[in-house]
């Protein structure tokens, strides 16, 4: 009888723990009352330099209250930006001639009350982790977001990959990477409007001469 009672108590505690976990996830995933402004890529500029092609742009987006609440609770979020260059060909499928990716991790540090941004070259996988990163701390969330939203002279191709007399198209993608969230948060996140932060830009690649050294 004592064994049965002990087992029932353990089962009850497990059920309570699962209920509390689901409740916390539901609270963090609950939609905010007001819709956030759409994500938008602006001020695109692509420069050709002796050593490669560099991209600068701004990404406008708001962080919904539910996402900020998750950050304050210690959940780091990851943004991914990808750039692909295709050569225009009227007679066949446009081949991709260059590709670049960057991952940006945003996290709140409760002990210091500061925000940290990690910038990783390439995509993060389960095996690669953060690898070598560029780290920067910020006093406020708007300051940290400004660093994420601003792309400054990001190298997206080597000079040898882009011919001067050929036509190219650029595809630029920015998104919140939901696959990097803790597994409990991934349940029910898909399709949640407040967790959908993404933008895409497709245009002809218009190269401008690189600015004088030291200028942005």
pLDDT in tens, 131-156: 667 899 999 999 999 999 999 999 99
Mean per-residue pLDDT for 120-140?
79
* CA-to-CA dists, residue 160 to 14, 50, 59, angstroms: 60, 10, 28
Any idea what the Cα angle at residue 157 is, between residues 154 and 158, rounded to 5°?
115
Q: How far apart are CA 83 and CA 216, in angstroms?
A: 20
Same domain, 109 and 71: yes
Q: What is the mean pLDDT of the chain?
A: 81
What is the number of structural domains in the chain?
2
- The answer as to whether 215 is a domain residue is no
DSSP three-state, residue 143: helix
Same domain, 48 and 144: yes
- The answer as to whether 25 is a domain residue is yes
- The answer as to whether 35 is a domain residue is no
pLDDT in tens, 186-196: 776 666 788 88
Same domain, 25 and 50: no
pLDDT in tens, 27-84: 444 544 445 568 999 999 999 999 999 999 999 999 999 999 999 999 999 999 999 9
Domain span holding position 185? 40-209
Same domain, 118 and 19: no
Q: How far apart are CA 118 and CA 103, in angstroms?
A: 8
97 neighbors 170 (Cβ within 8 angstroms): no
Cα-flanking dihedrals φ and ψ of residue 50, to 5°? -60, -30
Q: Which residue, among 215, 216, 97, has the nearest Cα to 150 in the 3D structure?
A: 216
- The answer as to whether 214 is a domain residue is no
Helices (H), 55-100: 65-72
Mean per-residue pLDDT for 114-138?
82
């Amino acid at each position: 009888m004592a064994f049965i009672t002990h087992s029932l108590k353990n089962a009850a505690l497990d059920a309570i723990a699962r209920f509390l976990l689901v409740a916390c996830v539901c609270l963090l995933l609950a939609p905010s009352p007001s819709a956030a402004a759409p994500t938008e890529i602006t001020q695109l500029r692509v420069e050709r330099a002796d050593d490669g092609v560099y991209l600068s742009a701004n990404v406008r987006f708001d962080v919904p209250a539910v996402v900020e609440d998750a950050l304050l609770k210690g959940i780091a979020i990851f943004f991914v930006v990808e750039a692909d260059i295709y050569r225009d060909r009227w007679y066949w499928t446009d081949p991709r001639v260059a590709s670049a990716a960057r991952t940006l991790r945003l996290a709140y540090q409760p002990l210091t009350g500061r925000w940290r941004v990690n910038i990783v070259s390439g995509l993060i996988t389960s095996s690669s982790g953060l690898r070598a990163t560029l780290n920067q701390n910020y006093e406020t969330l708007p300051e940290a977001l400004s660093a994420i939203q601003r792309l400054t002279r990001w190298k997206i191709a080597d000079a040898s990959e882009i011919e001067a007399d050929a036509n190219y198209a650029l595809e630029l993608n920015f998104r919140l990477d939901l696959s990097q969230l803790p597994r409990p948060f991934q349940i029910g996140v898909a399709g949640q409007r407040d967790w959908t932060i993404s933008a895409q830009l497709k245009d002809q690649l218009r190269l401008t001469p690189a600015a004088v050294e030291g200028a942005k």
